[in-house]
Amino acid sequence: MIRGVLAVLLALSLAPQEQNLGNSYLGKAPPELAAAKEQWLNSEPLTLAGLKGKVVWVEFGFLKCPPCRKMKPTLIRWHKELADKGLVVIDVSDGSLDKFDDLKKEVEEKGEKFPVLWDKDAKICLAYGIQAYPQAYLVGVDGTVIWEGLPKPGNDAVEKLIAAELAKVKK
């Protein structure tokens, strides 16, 4: 728990929002989201390889993370407005900080419809080198990362990048 609190405090103290506190994958394919079926909420297991041709927003966080909570309305809006255009929002919850039952309850209560992955033992977080929350990666249609950093609601540059990448999605 202390690790998570320190990560949040560190993230809050840093600027700009594009500051990256994980491994950099710009221009490269990021690690896979390998997890058992029972770790996924609102979705069958997804892989980034299987999502090639779509635009994927992968965001790492945990339930008691204040900046993560501030991003939730944006994730909900993006899913609602852009899923049918080719955007896949995936929320990865650090399983070393969140219990599965608590996460499941939160997702159900908030009515989140996008895929949520409970990262049991934080293996995926470790693979990505996540050091602060939230941390996000925007994966383009070719399967490589086109943006990474600490997301904030209302980031016009990221929204323009998403829109430009969605224009490449084959219908």
Q: Is residue 51, in this structure, part of any structural domain at all? A: yes
Tell me the residue type at 64: K
Q: What is the mean pLDDT of the chain?
A: 90
Q: Is residue 56, in this structure, part of any structural domain at all? A: yes
Q: What is the pLDDT of residue 125?
A: 96
Q: Which of 32, 20, 57, 19 is nearest to 161 (CA)?
A: 57
Q: Would you place residue 22 in the very low, low, confident or very high pLDDT band (cuts 50, 70, 90)? A: confident
Residue 151: domain span: 2-166
Reported as a single tens digit per residue, the pLDDT across 29-81 is 999 998 999 999 999 999 999 999 999 999 999 999 999 999 999 999 999 99
Q: Is residue 65, in this structure, part of any structural domain at all? A: yes
Reported as a single tens digit per residue, the pLDDT across 103-155 is 999 999 998 999 999 999 999 999 999 999 999 999 999 999 999 999 999 99
Q: Is residue 102, in this structure, part of any structural domain at all? A: yes
Q: Give the span between the Cα atoms of 16 and 133, in whole angstroms.
A: 14
Number of domains composing the chain = 1
CATH code at 31?
A: 3.40.30.10
**pLDDT of residue 9 exceeding 50:** no
Q: What is the pLDDT of residue 171?
A: 75
Q: Would you place residue 20 in the very low, low, confident or very high pLDDT band (cuts 50, 70, 90)? A: low
Q: Is residue 141, in this structure, part of any structural domain at all? A: yes
**pLDDT of residue 163 exceeding 90:** yes
Q: Is residue 117, in this structure, part of any structural domain at all? A: yes
Instruction: Determine contact, residues 72/112, Cβ cutoff 8 Å.
Output: yes
Q: Is residue 171, in this structure, part of any structural domain at all? A: no
How many helices and strands, by DSSP H and E, does the chain display? 5, 6
Q: What is the DSSP string of 38-80?
A: GGEESSS---TTTTBTBEEEEEEE-TT-HHHHHHHHHHHHHHH
